[in-house]
Each structure stands twice: as C-alpha cells, then as structure tokens.
C-alpha cells in the first residue's frame, strides 16, 4: 500500500471545500408558502429545520476531518523520513 502525503493533504482540502459548499446552501424554509396554509406547510418547515440542523452537523464533521487530513499529510512525511533514517543508522 502506498500512502502519499500530498494526496492526504489534497483530500483534506477537498473535505474543507465540501464543508464550505454544504454550509453555503440557502435556507429553504421560506419555501413553505408554496404549500399554503395547513399541515403540509408545517410538515415542510419541520423537515427543512431538521435538514438544516443535520447539514450543519455534517459540515462540522467534514471540516474537522478536512483539518485533520491537511495536518496529517505533513506529519506523515516527517514520520516516514524518521523511519527511513532509523533504518539506515541515522539519528532522530
């Protein structure tokens, strides 16, 4: 298995971009008017509210994973270099 630190960092950037795009989605709760008065509009508003809460939870998770992946890329390179040096008699 080959692990590339640049690919890990790029994954982190992609996850952060995805989190930003998901967070930037508009608020569709104002669209409830299309259902008129009654249960349908209320149900739609409830559904949209739940989606917004879940969307923000997912955004936080993606941002956390993205930040971790971008920082891990550099740490991986450092670890690999230290392991290489130790195998050839180098000093940490």
pLDDT by 10-residue block (mean), the chain, 92 residues: 80 94 82 80 87 93 93 79 78 55
In a domain, 92, yes or no: no
Both tokens of 22, joined, read: 């998901």
- pTM for the model: 0.69
- The total domain count for the chain is 1
Residue 54 domain flag: yes
pLDDT of residue 83: 83
Domain region containing 19: 5-86
pLDDT of residue 91: 57
Q: Is residue 62 within a helix (H) or strand (E), and if so which, with residue range?
A: helix 39-87
* Residue 10 within any structural domain of the chain: yes
CB 10 within 8 A of CB 64: no
- Residue 74 in contact with residue 9, Cβ under 8 Å? yes
Whether 91 is in a domain gets the answer no
Using alpha carbons, select from 72, 82, 62, 51 the residue that is nearest to residue 19.
Answer: 62
Q: What gap in Å lies between CA 57 and CA 23, rounded to an integer?
A: 10
Give pLDDT, residue 90: 58
pLDDT of residue 71: 85
Does residue 46 form part of some domain?
yes
């Amino acid at each position: 298995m080959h692990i590339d630190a640049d690919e890990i960092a790029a994954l982190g950037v992609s996850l952060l971009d995805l989190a930003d795009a998901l967070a930037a989605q508009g608020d569709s709760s104002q669209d409830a008017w299309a259902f008129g008065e009654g249960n349908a509009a209320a149900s739609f508003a409830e559904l949209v509210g739940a989606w917004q809460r879940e969307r923000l939870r997912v955004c936080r998770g993606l941002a956390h994973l993205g930040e971790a992946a971008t920082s891990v890329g550099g740490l991986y390179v450092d670890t690999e270099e230290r392991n290489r040096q130790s195998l050839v008699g180098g000093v940490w």
